[in-house]
Amino acid sequence: MATTKDRGSRRRVDARSSVERIIAAGRTVLGKGEASLEQIAAEAGVGIATLYRHFPNREAIVRAVLEDILETDLLPLIERATDAPDSRQALQDVATQLLDLITQERGLVTFASNFADVAVDVLQRFSASLHPLLERGQQAGEIRSDLTAEDIPRFLVMAVAGLALPGTAPSLRARFIALLFDSLNPDNATPLPPLRPGEDDLRTALGNVTRT
């Protein structure tokens, strides 16, 4: 006879299985372009009520899919990049791969009304993993010394906001990624002004741009 503890464990396993199926379905459906929560629920083989229980809105789906992309596809690249001989180029390769991954999920950027806000939140969680790469690049004189690991997620979101829109050609992304990363070069770099309290919230700035 199943105990209360057994039933609780089974519910947790079932919930985890549902969440994993919904995230996988989100990547599949968003990869096709236009998407709806109903389409994602159908692809996952769950009812819409189950989807809403775990993901109450579109932003929650986008956050989970983006976290899955970073955990499964980008984080291994970041870890391998820490041993690369050219740290700035390795960081640029990470940014290029991030843009490629996001644009492959063609509906990801347009599915949520505040994609930039969600992207900042998710990418900030990865700033610690970027720190060794940044530190090696600074020690080698490849990356300006006044950049911090906390700056990198914001730096990447600037690229995502401008270059991950559906229909952006890979050659155009490569061109402007190269221009953007030239700003990390320490040669002739203008010192970065210090941040003032309350003025470091890129999410608010990007959210204002997205809503206009």
pLDDT per residue, tens digit, the chain (212 aa), is 445 444 444 444 455 789 999 999 999 999 888 789 999 999 999 999 999 999 999 999 999 999 999 899 988 888 888 788 888 898 899 888 888 888 888 888 888 888 888 888 888 887 888 888 889 999 999 999 999 888 888 888 888 877 877 677 888 888 989 998 898 888 888 888 887 766 555 555 445 544 44
Q: How far is CA 86 from CA 17, 76, 93, 134, 140, in A?
A: 41, 17, 11, 11, 9
| 136 plus 162 within the same structural domain | yes
| 187 plus 168 within the same structural domain | yes
**Last residue in a domain, options 30, 56, 82:** 56
| 193 plus 119 within the same structural domain | yes
| 86 plus 108 within the same structural domain | yes
The range of the structural domain enclosing residue 90 comes to: 57-211
Residue pair 119/66 in contact by the 8 Å Cβ criterion: yes
**Last residue in a domain, options 14, 29, 56:** 56
| 50 plus 89 within the same structural domain | no
- Sign of dihedral through CA atoms 13, 15, 19, 21? positive
| 93 plus 125 within the same structural domain | yes
**Of the candidates 117, 98, 96, the residue with the CA atom closest to the CA atom of residue 176:** 96
Total tally of structural domains belonging to the chain: 2
- Sign of dihedral through CA atoms 73, 79, 80, 84? positive
| 154 plus 199 within the same structural domain | yes
- How many Cβ atoms are within 10 Å of 207's Cβ, its own excluded? 17
DSSP state of 144: -
| 86 plus 22 within the same structural domain | no
| Dist. CA 94–CA 89, nearest whole Å | 9
| Dist. CA 93–CA 57, nearest whole Å | 32
**Last residue in a domain, options 56, 75, 98:** 56
| 23 plus 101 within the same structural domain | no
pTM: 0.75
Tokens representing residue 24 in the block: 């996988």
| Dist. CA 188–CA 173, nearest whole Å | 25
